[in-house]
A and B are shown apart, each in its own frame.
Chain A
Amino acid sequence: MTDLFVAVLLRDLKLASRRRIDTLLPLVFFGVALSLFPLGVGPERETLRLIAPGVVWVCALLASMLSVNQLFAGDLADGSLEQMLLAPQPAVALAAAKCAVHWILTGLPLLVATPLVAVLFDLSLPAFAALAFGLLLGTPILSLLGALGAALTLGLRSGGMLLILIVLPLATPALIFGTGAVGTVEAGLSASGHFSLLGALLIVTALGAPWATAAALRISTE
């Protein structure tokens, strides 16, 4: 089982390193979208500080959705997906590997880019720390749910739109608790409640989503 996981993970990372433009797209989108807000809303520090968590989370969510579309589509088109599903190992390893790849290529770069947010939106250090920690817990949830949505809509003609309709409602709890954590820290309170809920969400999604993704992949390829 770990063999399939490692094989798919390494292959996808190698493929990503050979298609650098495609790989960097979510990060570029995240950076550009974020920098547009201070320009559009105006430079009032108070307003920016107020909207920062929400803006960052929405941009992270959209950046995740941007790249998740292609998670299985290429493998379906060239027949690799069939071969991976035929491997004499559980398909859940394949689903988990794809989620991990998506997080490494989308979630992790966004996390690394968050200091930029602190500068753009004039966040205090505790607020920035709360935002970054929330994203650390929240972006894997987005990858897990995104992979599930991508598997469910695989091979459909208007799959992209459907994917967003499926995933966005499921991702709202993460969005609410992630932004809420920053708000409580700025109000001088402890955000541990928010983080506990985010952590619980992450555990539940990590335990359920890969199995659902594997089942969806089998149905989509039938």
Chain B
Amino acid sequence: MLHAAALAGQRGDRVLFEQLHVELAPGTVTWPRGRNGRGKTTLLRLLAGLATPLAGEIRVAGALERRSDPASRRGLLYIGHQNGLKDDLSASEALAFLMRLAGSRPAAAEIEGALERLGVHAKRHALVRTLSQGQRRRVALARLALLLATPLWLLDEPFDALDVDGIATLNELLGEHAERGGATLLTSHQALSLAQPVPQVLDLDHHASGHGRA
């Protein structure tokens, strides 16, 4: 589904990883592991097409991903560390706008259903500025309950700020996505509690630039 070969990424002037191969197959969850500053977020941004790799190539569904080509971003959902919600919009308005950006216009009932799934239905008319960090995260993640046809999910620390209940819901959504044949790549600084499918670990420490030379 997504295939990246001999990938090298940098932040600033520092090369973070080299010769990294990433293969996201249908029905899998991939979990890049590595110490802080190893380039987990950088990898995600590269795969999402928000940054250009230093070397290597990324293919989504066989087609080369290019930053300047908007069509290559279809079929890909990226939820970054920041939620992308505007403070002055209500939770449902903010979600509707994000959906519209993805090229989909769900009905009001669908939006409400997604917010209900994530447990923030009661806050649907509240302005984002009045929501807690965990509630904002839930609104941003509500896209996962709507963009079912998007095969590729790239999630940066999706479990951040979520409580036990929220983590369980997200695990459910990830499991359903894998069952549909979707692929997910997610970062998490805590151990994953996802039972099905079993996350495949991608070891970034092993691909760190200068590994074995120091």
| A residues at B contact (CB < 8 Å) | 3-4, 7, 11, 14-15, 18-19, 74, 77-80, 82-91, 218, 221-222
Given A4-B101, A7-B101, A15-B89, do A222 and B84 touch, yes or no (CB 8 Å)? no
CB-based contact A89/B70 at 8 Å: yes
Given known contacts A3-B100, A11-B97, A89-B103, is B88 in contact with A222 (CB within 8 Å)?
Answer: no
5 additional contacts, CB 8 Å, given A82-B80, A89-B103? A4-B101, A7-B100, A15-B89, A79-B80, A80-B86
B residues 28-62 near A (Cβ < 8 Å) are: 48-52
Indicate the member of A7, A14, A19, A83 with the most B CB atoms within 10 Å: A83
Q: Give me the 8 closest cross-chain CB pairs, A-B, nearest first.
A: A79-B82, A79-B84, A83-B84, A87-B101, A88-B74, A18-B88, A7-B100, A222-B51
* Chain B contact surface mostly: loop
Contact A83 B101 (CB under 8 A): yes
A46 to chain B, nearest CB (A): 48
Q: Min CB distance, A30 to chain B, in Å? A: 24
Q: Are B84 and A80 in contact (CB under 8 A)?
A: yes
Residue interface mask B60-73, A partner, CB < 8 A = 1: 00000001101101
Q: Does B161 contact A (CB under 8 A)?
A: no
Q: Are B88 and A82 interface neighbours, CB within 8 A?
A: no
Assess the A82–B101 pair: CB atoms within 8 A: no
Contact status A90-B70, CB under 8 Å: yes
